[in-house]
Structure 1
Amino acid sequence: MFFESIATVFAGLAMAGIVMAVNHTIRGRLPKWVMPVAAGGAMLAATIANEYAWYGRTVDSLPEGLTVIMESENRVAYRPWTYVAPFVDRFVVVDTFSERTHPDQPNLRVVDTLFLGRWSAPNKVSVLIDCAANTRAPLSDAITIGDDGSIRGVDWVSVDITDPLLSNICRKGG
């Protein structure tokens, strides 16, 4: 966030410098309001560009094994351009390297998911998935896993096979 603020300030200064050079070239014929308006417009453009570029930069920097399974596009009234071109402000990834199974319960899987947001800290949630029953549940302290892989204390949520998490984890033969 700090570097984005610095970039925004420099975009404004650069545009002010360009307007000053143009004004000098045409011997001061530009109205005085052009420079601050152009600088403000450049700062606004830099801020909007950073909003749209965040998702791509973040996904490109994800380590191997993290797969994007869901995106949330942002449309909001105080940013009217987002109705034409929404931007992704949060998304969910699954850590496929974290997948754990029990030999006696091959259809049950535990996998870590990360919820990443533009202006929020990442949130890690371990999820229990039953590929045979098309159900899933967040792993909590109330859930116990027996030595035989049996699960107790789970509040399963039924999901369609097209659920992004279920389809990503279970399509590998679960």
Structure 2
Amino acid sequence: MFIELIATVFAGLACAGLAMLLNHATGKRLPRWITPVAAGLGMLAMTISNEYTWFDRTAERLPEGVEIAMTVDEQSWLRPWTQLAPYTKRFVAVDLATARTNAALPDQRLADLYFFGRWSPVNQAPMLFDCAGARSALLIDGAEFAEDGSISDADWQNMPADDPILALVCET
């Protein structure tokens, strides 16, 4: 976030410098307000660019075996350009490389989910999926494994059959 702020400030300075050079080259015929407007437009363009490229930059750095299951795009009236082209603000990735199954319970899969947000720290949560029952349970609090691998005290939540996270975990 700090690096993006520095890049935005330097983009503003660069655009202001170009406006000053253009003004000097035209014999100072441009209005005086052109330099601060160019700086503001440069910073705005850099901010928009960072918003739209964040998802691709972050997705490129995911380790092998971590697949993106779902993205959340955002539109905002405070950012009018997002009405034409929404940008990805959040996404969920599943670590399929470390997903586990139990031979005694072949329809269940245990996988780590990672929740990424534009201005948020990455959150990780282990989740148990019942592929046959189309349900899932977060294994953060209170869930215990029995000797046969079954889980007790899990807070099972029904999932739609077409849920992208369920589909990704259960197809592997």
Q: Take 2:97 and 2:77, find their aligned partners in 1: how far apart are those partners? A: 40
Aligned match of 1:162? 162
TM-score, scaled relative to structure 2: 0.96
Q: Would you say 1:25 and 2:22 are equivalent positions? A: no
* AA in 2 matched with 1:59: A
TM-score, scaled relative to structure 1: 0.95
Alignment of 1:10-49 (within 5 A): 10-49=10-49
Shift of 1:141: 3.0
* AA in 2 matched with 1:124: Q
| Long gaps (5+) in structure 2 | none
Q: Which runs of 4+ in 1 moved over 3 A?
A: none
RMSD: 1.1
Q: Secondary structure at the match of 1:95?
A: strand
Aligned match of 1:95? 95
When structure 1 is superposed on structure 2, of 139-148 and 68-77 the one drifting more is 139-148
Aligned match of 1:77? 77
Q: Secondary structure at the match of 2:82?
A: helix
| Long gaps (5+) in structure 1 | none
* AA in 2 matched with 1:28: K
Q: Secondary structure at the match of 1:53?
A: helix
Alignment of 1:53-68 (within 5 A): 53-68=53-68
